């Protein structure tokens, strides 16, 4: 039998997808996650850390920026350097770019409006986080954000491409990637990326909201892949 693995979810004041994520982890991985309060100065042992969606610290100043000053994030940074897998979803992705664990920045949606809808994503590179999907498979997760417009300069973009760091791109159901299937103006339709070491993943769409019978079930494979990588 596998040794019991520890999954942690960091909770900031203003996080609001922590419960959804906790349920998705419990249901799909059979692991009850440790809930880590933002003021925790010492995360002892963990096999993977999630940063959930929401509006940490009310998204004041800029989405995700204040969270980077919290004690728990210092721990996240420390552990990420040691190779611990980190997954940031939505506001979690915003925090990861703000604390420079991931390249680029998440700007206001090009429409300037919050957008909630089911979108299609293409799994453009496979790695540990997406091992359950086929390369270029099209999956459906919901999005719900007002600052998901991914920006990175051209030189960095090339690096991301060359290192296969781009994981998810917004697409049509048939797999066409162009501007009409870009919900927020993200550069090259980018929806999710990893760092160079490929142990930190950030994505705007919500896999935890795509694991139920009445929604898309495509998120289940995301969590299954995570289970496999532990």
The answer to whether 165 and 127 are in contact (CB under 8 A) is no
Q: Does 14 sit near other proteins (CB under 8 A)?
A: yes
User: For this structure, is 117 an active site residue?
Assistant: no
Which is closer to other proteins, CB of 117 or CB of 174? Answer: 117
Nearest-approach distance from CB 139 to other proteins, in angstroms: 16
Is the CB of 132 or the CB of 142 nearer to other proteins? 142
Residue 151 as a binder of other proteins (CB under 8 A): the answer is no
* Residue 16 binding other proteins, by CB under 8 A: yes
- Residue of 38, 75, 145, 206 marked active site: 206
Q: Does 208 participate in catalysis according to the annotation?
A: yes
| Beta strands 166-171 and 115-123, pairing class | antiparallel
Q: How far is the CB of 194 from other proteins (least distance, A)?
A: 25
Decide: is 20 part of the binding site for other proteins (CB under 8 A). Answer: yes
78 contributes a contact to other proteins by CB under 8 A: no
Q: Which of 208, 221, 222, 225 binds other proteins (CB under 8 A)?
A: 208
Is 206 a known active-site residue? yes
Least separation in angstroms between CB 196 and other proteins: 32
Name the catalytic one among 17, 38, 75, 90.
90
Cα–Cα distance for residue pair 49/12, rounded to 1 Å: 14
- Write the DSSP assignment of the chain as a string of letters: -PPPP-EEEEE-TTB-SHHHHHHHHHHHH---PEEEETT-S-----SEEEE--B-GGGG-SSTTTGGGGSHHHHHHHHHHHTT--EEEETHHHHHHHHTTSSSSEEE--TTSS-EEEEEEEEE-S--GGGTTSPTT-EEEEEEEESS-EEE--HHHHHHHHHTT-EEEEEE-TT---SGGG-SS--GGGEEEEE-TTS-EEEESS-GGGS-STTS--THHHHHHHHHHH-
Decide whether 101 or 143 has the Cβ nearer to other proteins.
143
Q: Which of 30, 32, 58, 78 binds other proteins (CB under 8 A)?
A: 58
Asked if 105 and 97 count as a contact pair (C-beta separation under 8 A), the reply is yes
Q: Which stretch binds other proteins (CB under 8 A): 14-22, 131-139, 164-172, 187-195?
A: 14-22
Q: Which of 10, 25, 28, 59 binds other proteins (CB under 8 A)?
A: 59
Q: Which residues contribute to the site for other proteins (CB under 8 A)?
A: 13-14, 16-17, 19-20, 23-24, 53-55, 57-60, 113-117, 142, 144, 146, 206, 208-209, 212, 214-215
């Amino acid at each position: 039998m596998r040794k019991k693995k520890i999954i942690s979810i960091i909770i900031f004041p203003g996080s609001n997808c922590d419960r959804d994520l906790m349920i998705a982890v419990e249901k799909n991985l059979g692991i009850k996650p440790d809930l880590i309060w933002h003021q925790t100065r010492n995360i002892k042992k963990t096999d993977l850390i999630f940063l959930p969606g929401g509006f940490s610290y009310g998204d004041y100043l800029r989405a995700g920026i204040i969270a980077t000053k919290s004690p728990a994030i210092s721990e996240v940074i420390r552990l990420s350097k040691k190779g611990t897998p980190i997954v940031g979803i939505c506001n979690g992705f915003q925090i990861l770019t703000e604390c420079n664990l991931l390249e680029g920045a998440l700007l206001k949606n090009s429409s300037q409006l919050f957008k909630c809808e089911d979108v299609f994503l293409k799994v453009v590179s496979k790695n540990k986080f997406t091992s359950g999907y086929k390369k270029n498979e099209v999956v459906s997760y919901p999005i719900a954000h007002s600052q998901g417009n991914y920006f990175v300069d051209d030189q960095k973009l090339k690096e991301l491409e060359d290192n296969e760091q781009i994981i998810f791109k917004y697409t049509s159901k048939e797999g066409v990637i162009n501007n009409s299937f870009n919900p927020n103006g993200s550069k090259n339709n980018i929806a999710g990326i990893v760092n160079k070491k490929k142990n930190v993943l950030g994505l705007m769409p919500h896999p935890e909201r795509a694991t139920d019978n009445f929604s898309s079930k495509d998120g289940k494979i995301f969590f299954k892949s995570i289970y496999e990588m532990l």
